[in-house]
Structure 1
């Protein structure tokens, strides 16, 4: 017998959600074959069997949260190809059990089928509230159609006399019973815990979709970024003529020599590194009352995936050539969309670049990726009329945005950082010297 346990998932990741089981109980499994896929806050992780055998038991169903080191399934060794015997009437894991053929079930004893008996009216107590008996017994019987006599119309004087006659005839026991019935029928629902919301009824043209673990993490981190930082954004525009001309002249040769295309990301990564060297506070983070200034340049590149936004990191970008940057970005983006990134590849970035231009965005305000204090936003390239040496000409222009944490980065510093990026991209030769 061998256990399948939740493996180490990376720095600071201590739990995951079971996304799906690739095998069912009783299925044969081979050594190295994927048995279950886990979803963490950042990436999906496939867990394989360490030996041949049969999946004896699934201990945690899909959707459940599990911790690192926790046993989630058991493999019976040396029995590959032999299906495990199913217990009669035992439902497969993940399927709803078939209820026993009884008219009623006792709500107080979950899983035990017992015959319910009607509550006697003479008991003076309310029965359990079940699907077959949605109202308290006393209230149900008091309002049953067989016990209700249609009222006879009365004049105002007759109604007054009736109220006077009813008063003395009412006994304390009767009043107490009536009060108890009304109290149970009108009892308020349990209070909702702070920070939670109750599910509202859906219209026929609406769907309710649970948030994935990754989407919950994205939502939480973006909200934390807005609440825990003094975020401000500055903007500028870049004339992309020189970069476009360089790519047009060199892209074929570059592709032939390096096996990867010459894109825009390598230019902006190099320009960001050069600007970070000139303005190091954008490459820092806050720890308590101290500022940690980093002199290594690990640039996060935001990648949109079907499961949500992820930010893999290009390590030591200052030491890489254009071809190496393009190659690493291409590889990271591909594996991000396939969901095969390692958790370590998403950690430790010092600065982030996001390119909304690939989706047609002309102008946006990027949100910080804490604990980083700066993020550079690229946008779509559009021809616009601009003034050049007293003449109105059409140029391919890109708006760029820099969001920064104003707690440690002043406005003047942020503006100069973005101007530095602009100058280097507009004169790509400087990237070889300063990037």
Structure 2
């Protein structure tokens, strides 16, 4: 008999959630074969069986929170029914590896007979077990036949478990029909708690400026075709902002620091986090040593990290550390915002949408493509002089992009 244990995932991760069992009791499992998918606050991982045999019991259900080191299943000797494995590896992989999350809800198979199989999401299976409902008796709304939580909730053939009596004035959300309750994913819960912690534990202020994007846009338009031919990567705005931020961080080193007890730790490296929006929430992969990379290397690095983020293939190492963060709300049309600090960092730059506005240029009024930028910073470390100076330098560098490219 071998125990399946939640492995050590990372120094900061102590628990996870059972996202999906890839094997069920009675299924045959090979040594090194994936048996369960865990969702953590950063990435999803698949856990393997260290022994070959038959799954004898599952000690945690899908949706349960489990701790590192906890026994969640057991594998015994013998042979059982074989089920398809998501892994095609011929060699045993590590105990935990990043996996791809599909954009739709994960599906599992509920077998009622050798010929009849019901497709259902893990959440629907769990709810059906709680209500004592046979999945094969449910008529799903999904034309593909997938049973979802709504189908289980709407199924009235089995009595629902008794709930605690509600106050007389309360209206049942399920009966009322005006509300939809959705449990926050572990990642969303972590994002929420960390953002709240930052707001409560820092003296965060935000200063603003605006950048005339005329010269950046003109330079990009002139150089983009040759840049792509030379480097096989597109020239975007993020490389300009990253290089401008690095130059400003070198002049204002306290913006590139963090607090450690009674000490201010100034980072002598420039690992720039680039915030990326995914279906699971905002993630911040890191462009390492951005000061040592040219424009093409930065664009290529950002493109690869963004693709991994969208495909849910980011590893913990892709997001660990970071000395400063850039977030671009402009891709969603945001005109102005106050970004929240990322973890222990003391500064974050918010980019916004480019909008044509009338601007005084000398004694004339001209229509220029303008972008508001915002620097949120921890006032415990950074004074107004440094914060305003940092943002002003970023503005000046981006308004003279030829110098920025020549000096990089």
TM-score of the two chains, using structure 1 as the length reference: 0.71
Bigger mean CA deviation after superposition, 24-33 or 293-302: 24-33
Q: What is the match of residue 416 of structure 1?
A: 389
What secondary structure is seen at the aligned counterpart in 2 of 1:398? strand
1:312/1:345 contact within 8 Å kept: yes
Residue of structure 2 in register with 1:354 after alignment: 327
1:410 to partner: Cα distance? 0.5
Partner of 2:149: none
Aligned to 2:398: 425
What is the match of residue 233 of structure 1?
206
Cα RMSD over matched residues? 2.7
Q: What SS class does the counterpart of residue 210 from structure 1 fall into?
A: coil
Instruction: Tell me what 1:179 maps to.
Output: none
What is the CA-CA distance between 1:351 and the residue it aligns to?
0.5
Q: In 1, Cα distance between the equivalents of 2:197 and 2:276?
A: 20
Query: Kindly tell me: are residues 285 and 200 of structure 1, through their superposed partners in 2, closer, same or farther at Cα, counting changes over 3 Å?
Result: farther
Which stretch shifts more, 264-273 or 67-76? Answer: 67-76
Please give the secondary structure, in 2, of the residue aligned with 1:219: helix
Matched residue SS, 1:372: coil
After TM superposition, list the pairs within 5 Å mapping 1:44-83 onto structure 2: 44-50=44-50, 52-76=52-76, 79=79, 81=81
Deviations 1:37-65 (A, max 9, x none): 21111221122345654333222111222
Q: Decide whether aligned partners of structure 1 residues 432 and 80 sit closer, same or farther in structure 2, where only a CA change above 3 A counts.
A: farther
Q: CA deviation at 1:227?
A: 1.0
Is this contact kept in 1: 2:26–2:81, CA < 8 A?
no
Pick aligned residue for 1:275 from 235, 244, 248: 248
Q: Any unmatched runs of 5+ in structure 2?
A: 84-110, 112-124, 134-160
**Equivalence for 1:90:** none
C-alpha distance in 1 between matches for 2:335 and 2:362: 26
Label 1:429 to 1:209 Cα distance change in 2 as closer, same or farther (>3 A).
same
Runs of 5+ unmatched residues, structure 1: 87-92, 100-129, 136-188, 190-198
CA distance in 2, matches of 1:200, 1:45: 40
CA distance in 1 between counterparts of 2:371 and 2:131 reads: 59
Q: Which residue pairs with 1:219 in the alignment?
A: 192
From 302, 306, 309, the equivalent of 2:279 is 306
* Contact 1:11–1:344 under 8 Å retained in 2: no
Q: 1 CA distance for matches of 2:380 and 2:171?
A: 40
Q: Which residue of 2 aligns with 1:103?
A: none
Q: In structure 2, what is the equivalent of residue 209 of structure 1?
A: 182
- Do the aligned residues in 1 keep the contact of 2:32 with 2:51 (CA within 8 Å)? yes
Report the Cα offset of residue 211 of structure 1: 1.2
Are 1:259 and 2:232 an aligned pair? yes
Provide the rounded CA distance (Å) in 2 between the counterparts of 1:401 and 1:200: 44
Q: Residues 21 and 62 of structure 1 are in contact (CA less than 8 Å); yes or no, is this contact kept in structure 2?
A: yes
Aligned pairs (5 A) from 1:180-219: 201-202=172-173, 203-219=176-192
Match of 1:194 in 2: none
Shift in Å, 1:9: 1.5
Shift of 1:306: 0.6
Corresponding residue SS for 2:330: helix
- Distance in 1 (CA, whole Å) between partners of 2:362 and 2:243 is 28
Report if the CA contact (8 A) 1:19-1:37 is conserved: yes
- Deviation, 1:374, is 0.3
Matched, 1:289 2:265: no
Q: Which residue of 1 aligns with 2:305?
A: 332
1:398 is matched with 371
The reply on whether 1:375 has 2:348 as its aligned counterpart is yes
Shift of 1:201: 3.8
- How many residues matched? 333
In the aligned structure 2, how far is the partner of 1:241 from the partner of 1:98?
Answer: 64
Q: CA deviation at 1:360?
A: 0.5
Q: Hey, which of these two has a bigger chunk of strand by percent? A: 2
Establish whether residue 247 from structure 1 lines up as the match of residue 244 from structure 2: no
- Alpha-carbon distance in structure 2 between the residues aligned to 1:396 and 1:58: 59
Q: What corresponds to 2:10 in structure 1?
A: 10
Show CA shifts across 1:236-288 (max 9, x none).
11111121112212222222332221111111111110000000000011111
Verify the 8 A CA contact 1:355 1:378 in the aligned structure 2.
yes
What is the CA deviation profile of residues 214-250 of structure 1, one whole-angstrom value per residue up to 9, with x for unaligned ones?
1111111111111111111111111111211122122
Q: Which has the larger radius of gyration?
A: 1
How far did 1:405 drift?
0.6
Distance 1:396 1:82, change over 3 A: closer
Q: Is the 8 A contact 1:260 1:327 kept in 2?
A: yes
Indicate if the aligned counterparts of 1:45 and 1:340 stay in contact, CA closer than 8 A.
no
Call closer, same or farther: CA 1:3–1:200 in 2, change over 3 Å: farther
Equivalent position SS for 1:304? strand
Name which of structure 1's ranges 37-46 and 404-413 shifts more when overlaid on structure 2. 37-46
